[in-house]
Amino acid sequence: MKPTKTILDVFNESNLAKDEYKSYSSFLKSHLLSVDSETNVPWFVKIITIFGACVGSLLFLGFLLISHLLSSEESMIITGSVFVLSGIAVTYANKRNYLSDSLSLSLSILGQVLLGIGIGAKAIEFNTVCYAGLVVETLIYLFAQSYTHKFLSVILIPACLLGIIWNSPIFEATHFLIGGLAVASVLIWTNELPLQIRLNKLPCFFVPTAYGLVLGLLLTLVLSINSKFFVVYINHWYITSLISFFSLSFLLYKSLCQSLGISKKTFWLVLTIIAILFAPTVHAPGIISSVLIIILGFTRSNRILLTLGIVFLATFIISFYYSLQQTLLTKSLMLMLTGVLFLGIGFAFGHLKKKVAMQ
């Protein structure tokens, strides 16, 4: 998981021709030191940018509302649109200097909130706000030249879709939205390398989309924790669980059968064991989906995905046992039995590991 080899080691082991070695190493030398390369920006900077932009824009919003500078719906819509467009424009003006990312993101967030309030007040219907949100987020996703803008849009697009679904008689379409996010997450990460190469002229697309989809999936699944809290009563959570299970099966097929060449028989055995293990949690789709993200993180050697998966898995497991309509005694016995079962499987794998190592 943690990289152990240096760039030099990898190049040496790749048996590169002299000119290939020269071109790759000179490219890396120039880009690894370059401050204007987005890849070189530590993720803490992006977190701080998002944090600062959110707090800053909310304060500006508070000022605009308190000072009654924007009193009519029309003025809110117009100012909101101007702010959103300015936010996008700043990303173009500072393509190579993302220090102003915080400013452009503040403008964008402020504009989006103003647009939401303005359209909401004018149209009254929540659906209209969601449709407008969908259009605005899609535009930001397509045109903004910044990781953070696109990342937030990828998370907000499913949120708008969710709003539209909830204002329609087909609540159950939520399962297909979440399922779609699970499928998209698997597809985008399993095609990481070809997509990165194909999108090399559009460097701001892959990373925010891939991470945004995963976070969007996990955040949307929080709805499955407690329906009473979210007022919307969604049934048949097994549909989401099934879609996540099929996505997991596809991921395992690609990783175990295609990459490692294990037999179909072993693959089906693995799937059967997973199905049996997770059958009791079929109404808590967050559990199988978090496992999907953990496996995705492992297969892509991506620690951010792995950490996200583990954090959400813990949350979903706790909520699952909390929401069980059983006495503490029954819950404790169930937990202990599951624990012993997992420990047994763990020790079996320990022996298998020894066997494989000896071979």
Partner 1 sequence: MPDEILNEKFSLKVIYLLAKMDHMSEEVLSSFYSIAGFKPGIQSWISFISKLVLSLGLLFTVTGVIFFFAYNWSELHKFAKLSIVGGAILASTIIALFSELNKFHAKLSLLAVAVFTGSLLAVFGQIYQTGANAYDLFLNWAILITGIVLISNFKPLWFLWLTLINTAIILFAGQILWRWIDPFVFISLFIVNTIALIIYEYFSYRKNPKFDSRWLPRIIGFAIIFSMTVAGIVGIITEFEDYGHAICLLLALGSYVTAFFFYSRKVYDLSSIAVSCVCIIAMVFTVILKARNFDTASIFFIGGFIIVGLTITSAFILIKINKAWKTQI
Q: What residues numbered 112-151 form the site for partner 1, per CB under 8 A?
A: none
In whole angstroms, how close is the CB of 62 to partner 1 at the nearest point? Answer: 4
Q: Pick one of 53, 84, 184, 214: the residue that binds partner 1 (CB under 8 A).
A: 53
Q: Which of 9, 74, 125, 172 binds partner 1 (CB under 8 A)?
A: 9
**Contact in structure between 199 and 193 (CB atoms under 8 Å):** no
Binding test (CB under 8 A) with partner 1, winner from 22, 59, 92, 172: 59
Q: Does 52 bind partner 1 (CB under 8 A)?
A: yes
CA atoms within 13 A on the CB side of 27: 7
CA distances from 68 to 64, 73, 75, 77 (A): 6, 12, 11, 15
List the end-to-end C-alpha distance of the chain, in Å, as a whole number: 23
Secondary structure of residue 1 in the 3-state scheme: coil
Burial category of 91 from C-beta neighbours within 10 Å (exposed 0-12, middle 13-18, buried 19 and up): buried
89 near partner 1, judged by CB under 8 A: no
Collapsed DSSP state (helix, strand, coil) of residue 146: coil
147, amino acid identity: Y
CA 137 from centroid of its chain's CA atoms:
16
Which C-beta is closer to partner 1: that of 218 or that of 223? 218
Tell me the one-letter amino acid at 60.
Answer: F
Contact residue for partner 1 among 139, 222, 256, 257 (CB under 8 A): 256
Site residues for partner 1, 288-327, by CB under 8 A, read 294, 298-302, 314, 317, 321, 327
Closest CB to partner 1 among 101 and 137? 101
Q: Which is nearer to partner 1, 168 or 339 (CB)?
A: 339
Identify which of residues 13 and 233 has a Cβ nearer to partner 1 in the complex: 13
Window contacting partner 1 (CB under 8 A); options: 44-52, 117-125, 149-157, 213-221: 44-52
